[in-house]
């Protein structure tokens, strides 16, 4: 039948679409439905329309041998705005079923209603479900709409019976499909922009829990998981309603509107609530999968031997005092008494992290019920078990998650509550603050052999962001909390001081190395003085900088950043040892000759020196105002990301030294850069037009640009002042900022450029002829700030 199929008198598909629109956008004077009533209204609307339309299309009643059933969101009564309809027309072999199906589907298609449909006999449905896991899961959600109800019930009962009977052979496929989905979509709990449907801890995992419960191998989800389902559905409903289409990933710009609709404050509060919800679901899925695997019926000799009188189940292999490995899970030994053994919890946790085995749910519940709190200060054995746990690397992550879900981690560290599920405040961070801390400790465990006090490294890493989520500077608050924690653990006072110092100054090295001139002795001495000349703290901060950056997100720890911090640490060690500090090195003879040639010819020269993932680009040209902006513009034109820039002079030549890396591809040829720079200097190549065209080619400027901000720092040496710009990254931003500074008659001695996600933190060391920048709030500062902010916008 063609798309022009006519409809009988009655509710049309156009009526359905208009009714949906009224539900989503009520007429003036009518209140907007809340999320849950809206879903119920959408289900009722579609049920009514489908029943009426199916009856007119020719589906009979009882005994007709044809029925229309809903699966998916409509089958579960969880239909969100703009979601597709998942429908199955089931029949007993009716020959005219094709024409009947056309009469059902075409009106929906013609009206733009999303539709996923199929036509099956009972035997066809059974065959498809036997080979298609998604189809099998869908049939577990069958709900009768109209037609022969007995046929629908036979379909549903057969699907459930086949699912239970075949789960042993399909279980691993089920797990593999879930793991692939998690790998692709991440975790709801710890993603800045979570996927509500496909992420781990999302709606599809709730459907997975229902499917496992249908096997009768695990119990149905409890009240906590049911509450999580309601919240996820409510958020998804408001997301669909707000963006006007079916989308399951919450972006930062969606958060405030959804939070307002749900009455939960701002987007950060919503993110925290979603994190807790995602963790609840993810933990329930992990436990259910382990429980189901252990309860799977065996076959062959294994099944016979499991029923034999001599078989008493899996062997219990000792792991530690009171801890055994049983059935692939870490459990308590039969004679273990948690109430009398304060260190048992930590031994269980350390054993699980060391072996990579999960802690049995029953063991966690028993520990939660009866494990006593450790006395203050902790016994030495308990402290050693904690350090053993923290030193287990990646195995630590799942163990802390399990302990936290059962409130055992908070019993060890009551200070953890403020960072639990706390969302990051910028897009550079991948994880929530609590998960970031655990990932950082896992990274620090790999660096334990690089420091003299690995125990203090692990503790300082665990606590370095513990001050977030509270009022005040998180580093200062964190240092006080770290002192509190370390004293409770029973550390020596000198060790408590070191850990608190590292937590207080955990950003000192990366901020200094990427935003200041590390060749300036004043910079080095300021770092040394800040650390009170403590070489142990310097060593720990060096390792923590790497562990912290790696746990922040992809691309935060780079070869360039590692080299800068290593150089700063080397200079600080020399200063602590009383050795003289070296200054910037002179130009090598080849570059001196090129500088002289540039002055003689009036033409620039460009030298590219590869250095691993980065490269040094040296521009030597007749000294002139604007050379920095012109050179940085040419680099941007060739898709080179600038990390640092140094400005110096030699024999009348300006020497601009850039540390760069290609955004993609390989380094350009030095001759090409020289040719373009010559054209720019001569005025035959317009950087402004070319950079604007390049930005358009790559999608244009960002849709939402955060307001730029300028900070001033006055404690630098050599008569310089540092301007720090925080702004949204754009192609050619350094070129525009340098041009703005040059228009204000300011000399730029050096620049440091740090890109964090979509945001840059650019630092410029500035001087003027009259040193008029040293007065805070001076007209010179206000003029520069105005020009820089305008360029950043």
DSSP 335-358: T--GGG-TTHHHHHHHHHHHHT-P
CA nearest to 512, candidates 656, 710, 716: 716
Question: Of 299, 329, 363, which residue constitutes the final position of a domain?
Answer: 299
Residues 121 and 194 in one domain: no
Radius of gyration of the chain from its Cα atoms, rounded to whole angstroms: 33
Give the count of beta carbons closer than 10 Å to the beta carbon of residue 694: 15
Residues 149 and 29 in one domain: yes
Kindly report the backbone phi and psi dihedral angles of residue 198, in degrees, each rounded to the nearest multiple of 5, phi listed first. -100, -15
CA distance 506 to 544: 7
The confidence score (pLDDT) of residue 305 equals 45
Rounded average pLDDT over 220-249: 92
Pair 763, 781: CB distance under 8 Å? no
Q: Which two tokens stand for residue 247?
A: 């989308």
Residues 601 and 658 in one domain: yes
Q: Which two tokens stand for residue 164?
A: 């239970």
Confidence of residue 1 (pLDDT cuts 50, 70, 90): very low
User: Is 130 part of a structural domain of the chain?
Assistant: yes
Residues 572 and 601 in one domain: no
pLDDT in tens, 37-70: 999 999 999 999 998 888 887 787 787 889 999 9
The confidence score (pLDDT) of residue 551 equals 93
CA distance 281 to 713: 47
Mean pLDDT, the chain, whole residue set: 88
Q: Is the pTM of the predicted complex or chain greater than 0.85?
A: no
User: Is 175 part of a structural domain of the chain?
Assistant: no
Residues 124 and 27 in one domain: yes
Rounded average pLDDT over 513-530: 88
User: Is 522 part of a structural domain of the chain?
Assistant: yes
Residues 744 and 715 in one domain: yes
Residues 625 and 766 in one domain: yes
User: Is-cis flag, bond preceding 377, omega within 30?
Assistant: yes
Pair 532, 497: CB distance under 8 Å? no
Pair 744, 783: CB distance under 8 Å? yes
Residues 601 and 704 in one domain: yes
pLDDT in tens, 466-494: 999 999 999 999 999 999 999 999 999 99
Confidence of residue 558 (pLDDT cuts 50, 70, 90): confident
The residues pairing with 317 across neighbouring beta strands, listed in sequence order, are: 325
Structural domain harbouring 67: 13-166
Rounded average pLDDT over 9-29: 80
Question: Of 348, 383, 412, which residue constitutes the final position of a domain?
Answer: 412
Rounded average pLDDT over 667-678: 91
Helix axes 454-463, 380-390, angle to 10 degrees: 70
Q: Where are the alpha helices (DSSP H) in 296-379?
A: 300-306, 344-355, 361-370
User: Is 540 part of a structural domain of the chain?
Assistant: yes
The confidence score (pLDDT) of residue 310 equals 44
Most confident of 315-319, 367-371, 719-723, 774-778: 367-371
Of 242-246, 303-307, 402-406, 626-630, where does mean pLDDT reach its minimum? Answer: 303-307
The confidence score (pLDDT) of residue 721 equals 85
Residues 619 and 719 in one domain: yes
CA distance 238 to 257: 8
For the stretch 769-777, contacts whose Cβ atoms lie closer than 8 Å and that sit 24 or more positions apart, written own/partner, are: 769/745, 771/719, 773/721, 773/746, 774/714, 774/721, 776/712, 776/714
Confidence of residue 324 (pLDDT cuts 50, 70, 90): very high
CA distance 220 to 287: 12
The confidence score (pLDDT) of residue 358 equals 93
Higher pLDDT, 95 or 115: 115
User: Is 5 part of a structural domain of the chain?
Assistant: no
């Amino acid at each position: 039948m063609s798309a022009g199929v006519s409809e009988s008198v009655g509710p049309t598909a156009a009526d359905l679409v208009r009714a949906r629109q009224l539900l989503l956008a009520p007429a003036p004077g009518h209140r907007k439905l809340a999320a849950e009533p809206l879903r119920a209204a959408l289900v009722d609307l579609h049920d009514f329309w489908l029943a009426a339309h199916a009856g007119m299309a020719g589906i009979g009643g009882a005994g007709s041998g044809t029925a229309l059933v809903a699966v998916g969101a409509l089958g579960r009564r969880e239909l969100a705005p703009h979601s597709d309809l998942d429908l199955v027309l089931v029949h007993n072999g009716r020959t005219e079923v094709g024409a009947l199906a056309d009469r059902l589907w075409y009106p929906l298609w013609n009206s733009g209603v999303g539709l996923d449909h199929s036509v099956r006999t009972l035997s066809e449905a059974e065959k498809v479900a036997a080979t298609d896991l998604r189809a099998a899961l869908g049939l577990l959600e069958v709900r009768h709409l109209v037609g022969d109800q007995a046929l629908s019930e036979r379909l549903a009962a057969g699907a459930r019976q086949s699912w239970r009977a075949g789960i042993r052979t399909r279980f691993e496929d089920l797990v593999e499909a879930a793991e692939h989905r998690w790998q692709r979509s991440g975790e709801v709990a710890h993603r800045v922009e979570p996927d509500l449907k496909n992420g781990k801890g999302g709606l599809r995992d709730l459907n997975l829990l229902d499917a496992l419960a249908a096997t009768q191998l695990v119990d149905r989800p409890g009240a906590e998981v049911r509450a999580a389902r309601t919240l996820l559905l409510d958020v998804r409903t408001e997301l669909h309603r707000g963006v006007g289409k079916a989308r399951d990933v919450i972006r930062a710009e969606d958060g405030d509107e959804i939070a307002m609709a749900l009455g939960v404050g701002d987007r950060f509060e919503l993110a925290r609530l979603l994190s807790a919800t995602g963790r609840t679901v993810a933990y329930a899925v992990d436990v259910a999968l382990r429980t189901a695997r252990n309860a799977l019926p065996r076959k062959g000799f294994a099944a016979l031997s499991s029923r034999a009188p001599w078989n008493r189940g899996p062997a219990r292999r000792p792991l530690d005092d009171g801890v055994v490995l049983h059935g692939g899970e870490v459990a308590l030994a039969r004679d273990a008494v948690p109430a009398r053994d304060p260190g048992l919890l930590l031994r269980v946790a350390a054993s699980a992290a060391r072996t990579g085995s999960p802690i049995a749910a029953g063991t966690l519940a028993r520990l939660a019920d009866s494990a006593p709190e450790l006395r203050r200060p902790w016994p030495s054995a308990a402290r050693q078990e904690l350090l053993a746990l923290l030193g287990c690397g990646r195995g630590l992550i799942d163990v802390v998650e399990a302990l936290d879900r059962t409130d055992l981690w908070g019993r060890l560290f009551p200070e953890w509550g403020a960072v639990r599920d706390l969302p990051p405040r910028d897009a550079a961070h991948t994880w929530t603050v609590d998960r970031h801390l655990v990932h950082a400790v896992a990274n620090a465990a790999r660096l334990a052999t690089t420091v003299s006090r690995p125990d203090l490294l692990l503790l300082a890493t665990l606590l370095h962001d513990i001050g977030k989520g509270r009022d005040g500077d998180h580093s200062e608050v964190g240092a006080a909390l770290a002192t509190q924690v370390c004293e409770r653990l029973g550390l020596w006072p000198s060790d408590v001081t070191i850990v608190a110092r590292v937590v207080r100054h955990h950003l000192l090295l990366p901020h200094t190395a990427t935003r200041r001139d590390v060749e300036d002795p004043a910079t080095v001495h300021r770092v040394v003085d800040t650390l009170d000349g403590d070489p142990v703290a310097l060593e720990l901060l060096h390792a923590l900088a790497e562990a912290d950056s790696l746990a922040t997100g992809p691309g935060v720890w780079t070869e360039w950043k590692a080299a800068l911090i290593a150089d700063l640490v080397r200079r600080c060690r020399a200063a602590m040892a009383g050795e003289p500090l070296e200054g910037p090195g002179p130009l090598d003879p080849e570059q001196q000759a090129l500088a002289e040639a540039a002055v003689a010819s009036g033409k620039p020269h460009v030298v590219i020196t590869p250095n691993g993932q980065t490269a040094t680009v040296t521009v030597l040209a007749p000294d002139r105002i604007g050379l920095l902006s012109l050179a940085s513009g040419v680099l941007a034109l060739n898709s080179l990301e600038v990390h640092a820039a140094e400005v110096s002079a030699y024999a009348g030549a300006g020497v601009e030294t850039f540390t760069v890396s290609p955004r993609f591809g390989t380094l350009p040829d030095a001759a090409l850069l020289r040719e373009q720079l010559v054209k720019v200097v001569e005025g035959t190549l317009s950087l402004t037009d070319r950079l604007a065209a390049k930005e358009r080619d790559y999608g244009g400027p960002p849709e939402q640009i955060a307001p730029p901000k300028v900070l001033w720092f006055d404690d630098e040496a050599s008569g310089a002042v540092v301007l720090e710009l925080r702004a949204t990254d754009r192609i050619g931003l350094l070129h525009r900022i340098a041009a703005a500074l040059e228009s204000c008659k300011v000399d730029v001695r050096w620049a440091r450029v740090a890109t964090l996600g979509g945001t840059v933190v650019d630092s410029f060391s500035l001087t003027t002829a009259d040193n008029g920048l040293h007065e805070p709030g001076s007209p010179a500062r206000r003029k520069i700030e105005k020009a820089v902010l305008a360029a950043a916008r």
